[in-house]
Amino acid sequence: MCCLRPCHDRGQELLSFSLETRPESRMTDDVDCFGNHRHVLSLLEEHDQLEIEARSVVVPAPGTDHPADLGENAWERLHAASRPFEDWEWLHPSRLTCPSASLTAFLERHAIAPGADPLASTRDLSSQLHRILNYVPGSTSTQSTIEDVLATGQGVCQDYAHLMIAITRSWGIPSRYVSGFLCPDEEGNPGYHTTHAWVECRFPDVGWTAFDPTNDSIDGPGHIRVATGRDFSDVSPTRGILLGGSQAALEVDVRIRPADA
């Protein structure tokens, strides 16, 4: 199963998308309960290697100017706007974002607590996690929970996102995990050569707002959204079952460049 098709909504435009496999496989298109497009692949013939190539042409969403805060009675308005059934997945712990005694100790040690305004508090939290945590590729795996990053203070974008989600949900803020890609910046520095992850939180009168604690940034045109879910396990770019063989290895290569290049 692949979850590689970028979103076409909220200002982001998907101009084209193609998915090919070598060897050729049987393929069906599906939409999951979170609105993410998935492709289910079936390859029953014996093979030594499976190559999956996804190509997209995307116009990123423009950046959004957000207010510094939400104004008077913001917490009351946020809680009143929450919908018990529709927001259940965004307000309760998931498998990779469970609260714990370690998380409570982490919050106390770094004096992390919600302030007078939800939006300002979330923006500050993203900056705090960026300063506190150390980005170390390979220090965790795709199945790591927040306990791993709390124990070492090291992780990658997925861990930053999971930790932030666990905290904001505990504050009563609807929060979800976003998978996607990071574009080259205005100076031409390349984006990540892999997928990227960040967080979206929903606020009254503002809507879903992106926070990237890995890079200490907020909603901007450099982020290409692919899928949203409770945590990484909902939006894994590839997932499958292999029958036979003794060993398997996964290699990923992401290349992003301006379309006129």
Residue pLDDT, tens place only, 155-166: 999 999 999 999
Q: What range defines the domain where residue 138 resides?
A: 74-234
Q: Confirm if 96 and 160 have CB atoms less than 8 A apart.
A: no
Please indicate, yes or no, if residue 85 is contained in any of the structural domains.
yes
| Residue 237 tokens, joined | 């770019």
Confidence of residue 235 (pLDDT cuts 50, 70, 90): very high
**Can you tell me the distance from the alpha carbon of 42 to that of 28, in angstroms, rounded to the nearest whole number?**
9
Q: Is residue 153 part of a domain?
A: yes
Cα 3 to the chain's mean position, in Å?
12
User: Is 117 within a domain?
Assistant: yes
Residue 158 domain-assigned (yes or no): yes
If one counts every other C-beta atom within 10 angstroms of the C-beta of residue 76, the result is: 10
Query: Total structural domains in the chain?
Result: 1
Which one has a higher pLDDT value, 182 or 198?
Answer: 198
CATH number of the domain residue 116 falls in = 3.10.620.30
Is this model's pTM higher than 0.85 or not?
Answer: yes
Q: Is residue 127 part of a domain?
A: yes
Q: Looking at the domain assignment, is residue 17 inside a domain? A: no
- Quickly state the pLDDT bin for 250 (edges 50, 70, 90): confident
Strand order through the sheet with 217-218 = 217-218, 207-212, 196-203, 175-182, 223-229
* 100/120 Cα distance (integer angstroms): 25
Position 55 in a domain? no
% pLDDT > 70, the chain: 94
Long-range contacts from 210-214, C-beta under 8 angstroms, 24+ separation: 210/178, 211/122, 211/123, 211/125, 211/126, 211/164, 212/126, 212/157, 213/125, 213/126, 213/127, 213/129, 213/130, 213/133, 213/160, 213/161, 213/163, 213/164, 214/130, 214/135, 214/156, 214/157, 214/160, 214/161
Q: Is residue 94 part of a domain?
A: yes
Could you give the CA distance from residue 196 to residue 190 in angstroms, rounded to a whole number?
A: 13
Phi/psi region, residue 122 (left: phi>0; alpha: psi -120 to 50; beta: rest), is alpha
